């Protein structure tokens, strides 16, 4: 590594503000708030949300709608997805089959 071109990579204490969980890692992030750990001043970085408190990672994420957006749209505006039997070619075949046979 070339000297004096890389940022300072040091120990950092990350604190999840939502749960108060703390863990130590290494980072180039700094902070004015510090704590002494084993005789070394370590910066404290506070996070609003992390994997410890994020609803997706904790399994507490709510399902907003059970039907889904497309089903709600169809229910609201009355549209339905055409089935295979509703295709124009199929409709002609069914109409021909229902018509009385000419003798």
Mean pLDDT by 10 residues, the chain (103 residues): 87 90 92 90 89 73 68 79 59 65 56
- pLDDT for 99: 60
CA distance 54 to 85: 46
- pLDDT for 2: 85
**CB neighbours of 28 closer than 8 A, spacing ≥ 6?**
7, 8, 9, 10
Residue with tokens 């890389």: 6
Q: Are 19 and 54 in contact (CB under 8 A)?
A: no
Query: Could you count the other beta carbons within 10 Å of the beta carbon of residue 2?
Result: 5
- pLDDT for 89: 64
Which residues pair with residue 1 across a beta bridge? none
- pLDDT for 26: 94
């Amino acid at each position: 590594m070339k000297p004096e071109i890389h940022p300072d990579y040091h120990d950092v204490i990350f604190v999840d503000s939502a749960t108060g969980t703390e863990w130590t890692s290494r980072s180039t992030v700094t902070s004015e708030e510090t704590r002494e750990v084993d005789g070394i001043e370590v910066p404290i970085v506070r996070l609003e949300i992390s994997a410890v408190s994020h609803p997706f990672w904790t399994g507490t994420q709510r399902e907003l709608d059970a039907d889904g957006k497309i089903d709600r749209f169809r229910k609201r505006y009355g549209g339905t997805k055409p089935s295979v039997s509703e295709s124009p070619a199929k409709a002609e075949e069914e109409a021909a089959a229902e018509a009385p046979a000419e003798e």
